[in-house]
């Protein structure tokens, strides 16, 4: 029996989040021995979207696939740079014709692993149905990929749970992203799919979802729009999940949360 160990790192926020990944990932690799590493990178470049440079920086750390979300095209230049970022995955339920990949399949230990990124529609932008989009791609790739992982980038926990049960037994894992707050509901669903509502984030520990506390509170108090900026210094937060999949059956054997606080991270002088 071949088991595949997978590490999925939470939404990375700004340059501080990237520095945290660089600092903690080498030791985590030695400890967990992951065969496949994913990260959600939709907030990786100054908190909004991703750039080709940031993509390359993350891939150099050993990340296999970078998933995205509702900030996919915040950096407009990425529309032209997508071909230069082969392991970057956009949500599959964007309308037909939108640039980018609907799914990615990579091989590890002789096992092909498929990754699909979906955006929820509750309290989010109006895109095509994630349930139908996911099901169509699964039908397309299931004969090729022994393991299929879903990044369900959504606001509502109910919608994430619905996706988990809808795809239970059809995919190896449904992993929630977007809220930047790690949930404690990791489990293996009845038909063998690993599930968690949200894996959390990588960024500043003393922040509001990675962003400057003062400006967010000011927005709540006044309702006047403020641009939120990632926190650039202080303790760091690293959230992730690790899960093990039986490559023969495609079913999950275990799933565990990772929650680490780094006492101090080098101050980021310039956000990019």
How does pLDDT run across 106-159, given as a tens digit for each residue? 999 999 999 999 999 999 988 999 999 999 999 999 999 999 999 999 999 999
What is the pLDDT at residue 267? Answer: 72
What is the pLDDT at residue 126? Answer: 87
For domain 3-263, say whether CATH 3.60.21.10 is its number: yes
Is 71 among the catalytic positions?
Answer: yes
Q: Taking 70 as the threshold, does the pLDDT of residue 269 lie above it?
A: no
Cα Rg of the chain (Å, integer):
17
Q: How far is 215 from 229, CA to CA, in rounded Å?
A: 8
Q: Please, are residues 6 and 244 in contact by the beta-carbon 8 Å criterion?
A: yes
Q: What is the pTM of this model?
A: 0.96
Structure-derived torsion over alpha carbons of residues 197, 201, 204, 205, reported in degrees to the nearest 10 = 40
DSSP, collapsed to helix, strand or coil, labels residue 13 as coil
CA proximity to 155, closest of 209, 101, 193: 209
| Inter-CA distances, 228 with 92, 219, 271, Å | 27, 9, 13
Residue located via tokens 């996919």: 72
What is the pLDDT at residue 255? Answer: 98
| Inter-CA distances, 179 with 32, 143, 156, 210, 263, Å | 25, 33, 9, 11, 23
Please state the rounded mean pLDDT for residues 69-92. Answer: 94
Catalytic residue of the set 71, 153, 178, 180: 71
């Amino acid at each position: 029996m071949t088991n595949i160990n997978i590490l999925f790192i939470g939404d990375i926020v700004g340059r501080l989040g990237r520095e945290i990944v660089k600092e903690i990932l080498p030791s985590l690799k030695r400890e967990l021995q992951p065969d496949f590493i994913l990260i959600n990178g939709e907030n990786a470049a100054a908190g909004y979207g991703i750039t080709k440079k940031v993509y390359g920086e993350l891939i150099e750390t050993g990340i296999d696939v970078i998933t995205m979300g509702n900030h996919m095209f915040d950096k407009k230049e990425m529309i032209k740079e997508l071909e230069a970022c082969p392991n970057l995955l956009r949500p599959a339920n964007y309308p037909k014709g939108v640039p980018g990949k609907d799914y990615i399949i990579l091989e590890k230990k002789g096992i092909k692993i498929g990754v699909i990124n979906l955006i929820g529609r509750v309290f989010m932008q109006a895109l095509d149905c994630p349930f139908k989009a996911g099901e169509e791609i699964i039908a397309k790739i299931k004969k090729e990929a022994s393991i299929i992982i879903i990044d369900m980038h959504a606001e509502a926990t109910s919608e994430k749970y619905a996706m988990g049960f809808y795809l239970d037994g059809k995919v190896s894992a449904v992993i929630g992203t977007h809220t930047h707050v790690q949930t404690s509901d990791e489990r293996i669903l009845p038909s063998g799919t690993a599930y968690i509502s949200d894996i959390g984030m990588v960024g500043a520990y003393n922040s509001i979802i990675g962003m400057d506390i003062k400006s967010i509170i000011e927005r709540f108090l006044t309702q006047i729009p403020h641009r939120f900026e990632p926190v650039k210094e202080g303790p760091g937060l690293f959230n992730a999940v690790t899960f093990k999949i039986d490559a023969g059956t495609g079913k999950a054997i275990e799933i565990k949360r990772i929650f680490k606080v780094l006492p101090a991270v080098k101050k980021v002088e310039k956000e990019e």
